[in-house]
Amino acid sequence: MRGFDIIGAPQRSPEWFQARLGRVTGSRAADVLATIKVGEAAARRDYRMELVAERLTGVTAEDGYVTADMQRGIDLEPQAFALYEALTGQLVERSGFLALRDVMAGCSLDGHVGDFEGLIEIKSPRTANHLANLRSGTVPSKYMPQVMHNLWVTGAAWCDFVSFDPRLPERLQMSITRVNRDDVDLVAYATKVRQFLDEVELEVSSLKGFSVLQETA
């Protein structure tokens, strides 16, 4: 039985932003894991307070801004899916936002295979970065938290990290790196997310009871 609900809203629609409200999402998983030698990393603190603000106001902290690189990735997704399907023989399906039922977390997948047995995470980086991905055959470290998060939320057995650049000769346009569920420590990851969410909830509870009393002469 699935542990999540599917909210079938198009990405970046008002309903999609509402579904994400106050939840840890895959695109921000790296912020949850951010660390420094002493104290709390700024990225972690800022994200924690964003979720606090969302829960208190009911308004998304995301501004919806799409960079040129992000838009390029959105525009190239259909081509990337078509090539991935041709190379692997797998049919890719799309879904909306997946919201865990027992934890304030969720994710928006680029695509999935079957009944979420496998996941696809597609990136369309600049050519130099794509060639580095092609040569390394590994998932860039900055994207591993997102891959782990999506595996954790869905319970999928694997995730194919796909790097795509149609500007190159056909044989160099795509690299596919599979991350199996057993290859990553999802227990440790889940523990860190739950601890982070406990801190968010504690801050929300504290602020709900906060008041400023002005002394009068």
Give the Cα-Cα-Cα angle 145, 182, 100 (nearest 5 degrees). Answer: 55
The answer to whether 92 and 85 have CB atoms below 8 angstroms apart is yes
Higher pLDDT, 151 or 215: 151
Confidence grade of residue 213 (pLDDT, cut at 50, 70, 90): low
What is the pLDDT at residue 212?
Answer: 65
Q: Which of 114, 106, 119 is nearest to 193 (CA)?
A: 106
Tens-digit pLDDT profile for residues 172-190? 999 999 999 999 999 999 9
Average confidence (pLDDT) over 94-105:
95
Q: Report percent pLDDT > 90 for the chain.
A: 84
Pick the CATH number of 4-208 from 3.90.320.10, 3.40.50.2300, 3.90.550.10, 3.40.190.290: 3.90.320.10
User: Phi then psi for 160, rounded to 5 degrees?
Assistant: -95, 115
What is the pLDDT at residue 154?
Answer: 98
Domain boundaries, the chain: 4-208
Q: Which of 111, 120, 125 is nearest to 147 (CA)?
A: 120
Whose tokens are 């090539």? That residue is 83
Whose tokens are 């309903």? That residue is 15
Q: Please state, in angstroms and rounded to a whole number, the distance separating the CA atoms of residues 183 and 187.
A: 12
Tens-digit pLDDT profile for residues 6-43? 999 888 889 999 999 999 999 999 999 999 999 999 99
Task: Give the pairing type, strands 158-164 and 118-123.
Answer: parallel
Tens-digit pLDDT profile for residues 148-160? 999 999 999 999 9
**Which of 12-16, 46-50, 90-94 has the least mean pLDDT?**
12-16
| C-alpha pair distances (Å), 128 with each of 145, 191, 204 | 22, 36, 43
User: Phi then psi for 189, rounded to 5 degrees?
Assistant: -65, -45
What is the pLDDT at residue 68?
Answer: 83
What is the pLDDT at residue 66?
Answer: 74
Q: Which residues have CB under 8 Å from 99's CB, separation 6+?
A: 4, 5, 7, 19, 23, 106
